[in-house]
Amino acid sequence: MKYKFCSLTAFIISFLLVNLLSSADIVKYDDLDEKPQILQSAQPKYPEEARKNGLVGTAFVEVLVDEYGKVTSSKIKKSSGYKLLDDASMEAAQDFKFSPGKKDGKTVKTQMVIPFKFKLKKDCQKKKE
C-alpha cells in the first residue's frame, strides 16, 4: 500500500510541475522580440437571432498562440454584452493562424487579444421603443 501511495504522490507532483512549467513558458505579448502576425483571419458568423434582435457590440477574445502559431485556447476577456456574440467570437478566434511570436530567437507561446466588432447597417437594425 505504501508503494501505491508513493507512486500516486510522485504522479501528482509530476503533474503539477508539468502544468507549472507549461504555463511559465508563456511569454507576455509586450515582452516578445517579434510579435505574432496574422496569417489567416476569420470573421465570426453573425448569429441570426442576434441579427434579428439588433444586437451589436464588440467582444474581446484572449487567445493562447502556441510556438507554431496555432490558437490553442480562447476565452472572453471583455464581453460584448451578449452571449451569442461572445460565442461566435470565440469560435472565429479558433480559426486564426499566426506566425509565432519570438523571444531571444526562439518561437514561444504568447497570449493576445483579438477584438470582434458586430454591427448592423442602419436599415438592418431593429428599432427599439
- Spatial separation of the C-alpha atoms in residues 20 and 4, rounded to whole Å: 24
- Spatial separation of the C-alpha atoms in residues 36 and 30, rounded to whole Å: 11
Residue 12, C-alpha cell as written in the block: 501528482
- Asked if 44 and 92 touch (Cβ cutoff 8 Å), the reply is yes
pLDDT tens-digit profile, the chain (129 residues): 444 444 444 445 444 444 444 445 888 999 999 999 999 999 999 999 999 999 999 999 999 999 999 999 999 999 999 999 999 999 999 999 999 999 999 999 999 999 999 999 875 545 443
Q: Which CATH superfamily is domain 27-124 in?
A: TonB (3.30.2420.10)
pTM: 0.75
What are the boundaries of each domain within the chain?
Answer: 27-124
In sequence order, the β-bridge partners of residue 63 are: 74, 112
